[in-house]
Chains A and B, each alone.
Chain A
């Protein structure tokens, strides 16, 4: 479903993604792990048509994301690291706009919205403004929305950041369920290793723009002789903390935190 070969992305003299290759099969849940600044988000941006690769090739469902942007965009759903819901609109309206933008026919749109909102336990709150929702509810709504146009692939960029264990658990249960019933391929990133261990069929670990390891969680643990995925991750990527310059997005994030009193 996803086929990446010798992918390279450079920003000036900095190489964010350095010659990585991997494949994700149909219906697979693939966790893409790595320390901050390892190249995860850059890779997702290239996979989702937002960034043009410097070199290498990408195929999503057999299509090149840059050459056939709109066809590729119809085929995936995405949940970004930062919220992308409209807080002034209701849950229903957020779904509605998404459906229109993805050319989902009116009738299908209504039926599927109801089905998904019920599944994600948001149906009762469909006419409430999203700004009144808790962090977990917002996340659930974003994922429900990502499924609305029946994508073949769902990208989740740190979807559980800032959620309590209950919400995280529930969220993965839903994602797994849809992965099974709709055979949707899931490509996710997270910093919670236990999550990746439980949810993912296969894992890729990226560090300094290079793929350090890939395989099933068991294989990766066996490869490093570690008991847990977290130990394996640390063995592969070292324990130095990555110092990053704050990007403009980070500055905005801080600003947003200040204004919302630390809640997302």
Chain B
């Protein structure tokens, strides 16, 4: 247990100390939030979908959680060759504990990042429709963070060099984001697109958040929860397995 705690704490300390990185990582979500949020607002309004800024805010929050958590896992690629991770792999600690400590740390950092964007959203004018269900929305954020931190670990443990990183970025992370309905409603889509979005776990996470924050959703919130929990659990197992197979 102590090993898990200290590795979790390590991720947190690293995050707090890299201020430049914190600021840099806020840039992308803010661009989406402020430019798209206000830029597409009038069109969205005219299409009869209501306030776009309100709609896109949960999507952008989820986006920052997604990126932060998946990168923490992908960082394994670097960490196991030039970082501290190698030292932990020869320590008399079961690998599972190391994987849990690191994944939890990555997920926590992602959550903090998400909460930062949350704060920015509120300052910029975002108002949840129901305050009572805000904690449940936070619960969905936790699920998103854990799921993608685990996915990151699974991939980061399998990659061999930096080239693979670009591939993952362009063919996995970006599609997950764009197909999740973070930026547009998932109702009334062309058939193919609607099937593809249904295969994207993030779609359920964001849908759950929207349901709890705004009271609008495309799926049943119980379905959202079930998909996130099951996919998350499966990815945890896959991540732990891949991690246990790392050779250095």
Contact = CB atoms under 8 A, between A and B. Distances in A.
Interface of A: 45, 48-51, 69-71, 73-74, 78, 80, 82-86, 88-89, 93-94, 96-98, 100-103, 129, 145, 248-249, 251-253, 255-256
B14 A86 contact: yes
B104 to A, nearest CB: 15
Contact of A84 (B3, B17, B83): B83
Contact of B82 (A71, A94, A102, A256): A256
B91 A73 contact: yes
B13 A101 contact: no
Contact of A86 (B83, B93, B248): B83
A73 B90 contact: yes
B92 A70 contact: yes
A97 B7 CA distance: 8
Contacts of B17: 88, 129
Given A88-B18, A248-B161, A82 B86 contact: yes
A49 B82 CA distance: 19
The 3 closest A-B pairs by CB, nearest first: A101-B91, A86-B84, A73-B92
A83 B82 contact: yes
A252 B6 contact: no
Contacts of B160: 248
Contacts of A78: 90
Contacts of B14: 86, 88-89
Contacts of A100: 2-3, 6
Interface string B225-248: 000000000000000000000011
Contacts, number: 80
Nearest to A131: B17
Contacts of A83: 82
Given A50-B248, A100-B2, A255-B162, A93 B13 contact: yes
A249 B81 contact: yes
Contacts of B93: 70, 101
B88 interface: yes
Chain B interface, >50% SS class = helix
A101 B92 contact: yes
A70 B96 CA distance: 13
B130 interface: no
Given A73-B90, A73-B91, A101 B83 contact: no
A84 B18 contact: no
B161 A251 contact: yes
Interface in B13-36: 13-14, 17-18
14 contacts: A49-B90, A50-B90, A70-B94, A73-B91, A82-B86, A84-B82, A84-B87, A96-B6, A97-B84, A98-B91, A101-B88, A102-B92, A248-B161, A252-B162
Given A80-B86, A102-B92, 8 more contacts: A50-B247, A73-B92, A80-B87, A85-B84, A98-B91, A101-B93, A102-B91, A248-B160
B118 interface: no
Nearest to B9: A97
B86 A51 contact: no
Contacts of A94: 84
Interface string B68-98: 0000000000100111111111111110000
Nearest to B85: A84
A88 B16 CA distance: 10
B127 interface: no
Contacts of A96: 6
B216 interface: no
Given A88-B18, A102-B91, A82 B10 contact: no
